[in-house]
Chain A
């Protein structure tokens, strides 16, 4: 008689590939328990400390997998150089955001908020290695659902409205993404991204599916014309959440986009499918920088600047060359540090209920806080792509990659976008050094703790060092086994 056998086809190595993601998710649970157990006086510190220890442990564990690529769970999660680099970027951004949230105090660092931030990070870490439609969808939704709550948790006016707007627009984008996934599944009969590289003959279904999938992805990356939600949500959310979002959602989604473009598309046909994405990237560089010119709120300005920066990174993938991917990852790393550095400076200017993100709070900062103003100038130089910074090196590499891949028009638009962005960023520099009258000058900065200063210093050092030693990970390919 034939008895059905219970077979668990997964080995311990499969689970090992997911350990860093699990560690971050479980740390979130530990934070909630710690929030209940610790006395009220040290609750904040305990929550943040547990969160950071968990993240650092996850970062160390993730590095153990370097050089041992594995396609875990039947290819659902591919752990290799590519996934690890993105996971490390997510972890760095989460650690800096937690440090900022500790310094800012108030509602941002209750156990619940920190746990949500960790779950969101674990979603992004899942996306970094996601190699089939199910893991991609789960990662994106884990990331987004936690962020909707985080955005709504602030008591600032407009925060809940912006969270509602974010939820509705982002869920609609998820709907497009999911329907695109359904059509891709229908065209190929498989949920694995690697199986898409040779779709069956009838490919109209595949094209429509890929189009809807890419619309969803471009929305999550907030590329023009899917960017309208970004400035409002950035402005409404608490500052540490904004800093977190500006890096983590982008890193996770970029990992999915890169894997889709490099590993999931049939080679001659894929170029045509991806062409609209490169055009969208070019639009983002121009529109993002032009819109940044008009902003008087730092968070809105950084939102538009982020749209443009993501345009540069996606442009680096144009033509899907191996070097393009490496340069995109390098620029993402540089963007992480210069962007978080700028947010940490804003955090240092914050007061209770007032986030110091108005452009006027920078008036005369160069005379009140020369070191802080110098650091901000350095981060803005990097964002604008001027030497001697990581932003400059990264942009040169992206230009080289775009020209090599035959996208000269993209490289030309990148230069135009950069030229516009210089004006937008130097508005802040001018306020710091030239604007000593006019709006009321705020009192000198008294930091709540040394932590945001540590963030600023670490980001500045990383931006400087990466500018001279462009560490470009070389074994990020292959993406799918």
Chain B
């Protein structure tokens, strides 16, 4: 039995907002980076579902590109977190508030 497109999109919306809430509320940069990954992957799920719905294979290729970019983003993010940690000996986004807005 085929699953209705609305289910995919609802799930993807829920995952996206879990990601947004994680970015806004959590103070540990590692958790924030994970939340950002959630946002990207929610978009991936939506793109694949829409790709199936429209029969347009461009969506599949798009998802591969997004997965690659997300991996690069995580690598750079972790590298910078390590660098900040070396200097500050702790990682907490509230403590990294030595900068004005």
Query: Interface residues, chain A, CB within 8 Å of chain B?
Result: 133-134, 137-138, 141, 145, 148-149, 152, 158, 160-165, 167-168, 171-172, 174-176, 178-179, 181-183, 185-186, 189-191, 228, 231-232, 235-236
Q: How many residues of B contact A (CB 8 A)?
A: 47
CB <8 Å contact, A171 and B73: yes
Known: A181-B43, A190-B54, A236-B99. 13 other contacts (CB 8 A): A134-B61, A137-B65, A141-B73, A161-B88, A162-B99, A163-B80, A168-B93, A175-B40, A175-B43, A178-B66, A179-B16, A231-B101, A232-B99
A165 vs chain B, min Cβ distance (A) = 7
Known contacts A134-B62, A175-B19, A178-B66: does B9 contact A186 (CB below 8 Å)?
A: yes
CB < 8 Å: which of A137, A158, A167 contacts B80? A167
Q: Can you report 17 A-B residue pairs in the complex whose CB atoms are below 8 A from each other?
A: A138-B65, A148-B76, A149-B76, A160-B84, A164-B29, A164-B81, A167-B73, A168-B33, A168-B77, A175-B20, A175-B43, A178-B39, A182-B46, A185-B50, A185-B56, A189-B54, A232-B101
CB <8 Å contact, A179 and B43: yes
Known contacts A137-B65, A149-B76: does B99 contact A171 (CB below 8 Å)?
A: no
B1 on interface, CB distance cutoff 8 Å: no
**In the docked arrangement, what's the CA distance between A133 and B56, Å?**
14
Known contacts A145-B76, A164-B96, A182-B50: does B56 contact A190 (CB below 8 Å)?
A: yes
CB <8 Å contact, A172 and B39: yes
B10 on interface, CB distance cutoff 8 Å: no
**In the docked arrangement, what's the CA distance between A231 and B100, Å?**
8
B3 on interface, CB distance cutoff 8 Å: no
CB <8 Å contact, B39 and A175: yes
A152 vs chain B, min Cβ distance (A) = 5
CB <8 Å contact, A228 and B101: yes
CB <8 Å contact, B36 and A172: yes
**In the docked arrangement, what's the CA distance between A302 and B22, Å?**
32
**In the docked arrangement, what's the CA distance between A176 and B61, Å?**
19
Q: How many A-B residue pairs have CB under 8 A?
A: 125
CB <8 Å contact, B77 and A189: no
CB-CB under 8 A from B33, the residues of chain A are: 168, 171
B14 on interface, CB distance cutoff 8 Å: no
**In the docked arrangement, what's the CA distance between A133 and B99, Å?**
34
B79 vs chain A, min Cβ distance (A) = 8
**In the docked arrangement, what's the CA distance between A447 and B84, Å?**
33
**In the docked arrangement, what's the CA distance between A190 and B59, Å?**
9
Known contacts A172-B39, A191-B59: does B69 contact A138 (CB below 8 Å)?
A: yes
List B49-101 residues whose CB lies under 8 Å from chain A: 49-51, 53-54, 56, 58-59, 61-62, 65-66, 69, 72-73, 76-77, 79-81, 83-84, 87-88, 93, 96, 98-101
**In the docked arrangement, what's the CA distance between A191 and B50, Å?**
11
One digit per residue, 1 when the CB lies within 8 angstroms of any chain A CB and 0 when it does not, for chain B 1-23 equals: 00000000100100010011001
CB < 8 Å: which of B56, B62, B87, B100 contacts A160? B87
Interface pairs A-B: 7 shortest CB-CB: A175-B39, A189-B54, A186-B50, A182-B46, A232-B99, A178-B43, A182-B43
CB-CB under 8 A from A168, the residues of chain B are: 23, 29, 32-33, 36, 77, 93
CB <8 Å contact, B53 and A134: no
CB-CB under 8 A from A191, the residues of chain B are: 56, 58-59, 62
CB-CB under 8 A from B80, the residues of chain A are: 148, 152, 160, 163-164, 167
**In the docked arrangement, what's the CA distance between A191 and B51, Å?**
10
Residue of A nearest to B24 (CB): A172
CB-CB under 8 A from B84, the residues of chain A are: 160-161, 164
**In the docked arrangement, what's the CA distance between A347 and B44, Å?**
43
Residue of A nearest to B56 (CB): A189
CB < 8 Å: which of B42, B51, B59 contacts A179? B42
CB-CB under 8 A from A171, the residues of chain B are: 33, 36, 73, 77
**In the docked arrangement, what's the CA distance between A179 and B16, Å?**
8
CB-CB under 8 A from A186, the residues of chain B are: 9, 46, 49-50, 53-54
**In the docked arrangement, what's the CA distance between A58 and B42, Å?**
38
**In the docked arrangement, what's the CA distance between A330 and B66, Å?**
34
CB <8 Å contact, B98 and A158: yes
CB <8 Å contact, B47 and A182: yes
CB-CB under 8 A from B99, the residues of chain A are: 158, 161-162, 165, 232, 235-236
CB <8 Å contact, A134 and B58: yes
CB <8 Å contact, A232 and B100: yes
Known contacts A165-B96, A168-B33, A182-B50: does B83 contact A160 (CB below 8 Å)?
A: yes
